[in-house]
Structures are given as C-alpha cells and as structure tokens.
Amino acid sequence: MSKRFSPSFERNKQPIFEQLTRHLKHSRHVLEIGSGTGQHAVFFAANMPHLHWHTSDMPQNHASIHAWIASSDSGNLSAPAAFTLGQDDWPEVNADAVFTANTTHIMQPEEAKTMMEMVAKHLPEGGIFCQYGPMKVNGDFTTDSNREFDQSLKQQHFGGIRDIQELASWAKGLDLIEKIPMPANNFLLVWQKS
C-alpha cells in the first residue's frame, strides 16, 4: 500500500496546527517543502479552508502523498510537485507562505542552505515561512536526546540538526520573527520576508 503513516506527525499535529492558524491566517497559498507521507497536507488543508495547500517532495514520496490526497474531500489541496533541492527549480506556485516540517535535519548542509536561500528569494514581501523540527541554539543541543538523535542522523548519512543562527545566516532577506518551543524538543521558527 502506498499510503504511509507517521506516528510522530499524529502526536505533534495539534500543537503545530495551533501555531499555523495564528501565523498563516492572512496567507492564501502555502507551499509545503517535503510533504513526506502527505498527512500534514491533508490535516492542515481540511482544518484551514482559507488556504490552498500545495504539496511538494522528491518523486519517490509522491505515491503516499497522492494516496492521502485521494482519501481527502478537501478541495484546497494540490498534487505534489517534483522538488529535490539542488536539482529542481522552485515549483510554479504563487505561494505567499511556505511550510516545512522535519526536513532540515535530514538535508545535507548545502541542501538546507539552498532551501533557506530559495525561500528568501521566492517569498513575496511580507510572506511567511514556518519551519518545524529540532534545532541547535547558539551552537548547543537543547537536550541530550537531541544530541543522540543528531549522532544517529549522521550515522545514517543525513545532515544533522542545524543551528538557528546558521539558518539565519543563509536566509538573507528573511527576518526570524518568532522562535516557538514545541513538544518533543522541537521548535517552530517563523520567518517573514522583509
């Protein structure tokens, strides 16, 4: 079956949703970078009908996203665009907001840098970028479990947990307007195009 399921998303969807409703209330079109299983898109689109949710990911993840969208009766969801950082151009979406969850620590540093630069370039003035996941603060892990998670990520050849200051240095033209502590030792970073 192509419809994949993420238990961590189920646990964290409500606190993320509560923040997105606050920060995306004036947005109309959201591009999700790394839609993964497709659960985020279906849940958030159903619960934020004022938004059109545009999914994107690497092609190998599209089957699950399509399966989740097919199971939804929301009319404000778009099929996934092929978007592999470092390979593909920015999707042809007039997005005034961008969302990504649990992607930055999977990416290699150069991919994370490319993402920050592309978001800064393509968001319109005043546009919002909500970035969810584990982060380092001033070079330090926020918990021992995040330090262990980072070691595990690197053993699997993923890029590892990025520092918020490092992300800010790559995000020229984006202002970090909120840094919200979230459950499970994560943050929601809210950036705005200046």
Which domains, and CATH codes, for the chain?
A: 7-193 (3.40.50.150)
**Angstrom distance (rounded) from CA 166 to CA 32:** 22
In tens digits, the chain (194 residues) has pLDDT values of: 588 988 888 889 999 999 999 999 999 999 999 999 999 999 999 999 999 999 999 999 999 999 999 999 999 999 999 999 999 999 999 999 999 999 999 999 999 999 999 999 999 999 999 999 999 999 999 999 999 999 999 999 999 999 999 999 999 999 999 999 999 999 999 999 99
pLDDT of res. 6: 87
Which two structure tokens, joined as six digits, stand for 107?
């990416």
Spatial separation of the C-alpha atoms in residues 133 and 65, rounded to whole Å: 20
With CA atoms as reference, report the closest residue to 41 among 23, 10, 68.
Answer: 68
Task: Give the model's pLDDT for residue 1.
Answer: 54
* Nearest residue to 129 (alpha-carbon basis) of 16, 24, 13: 24
SS3 state at 92:
coil
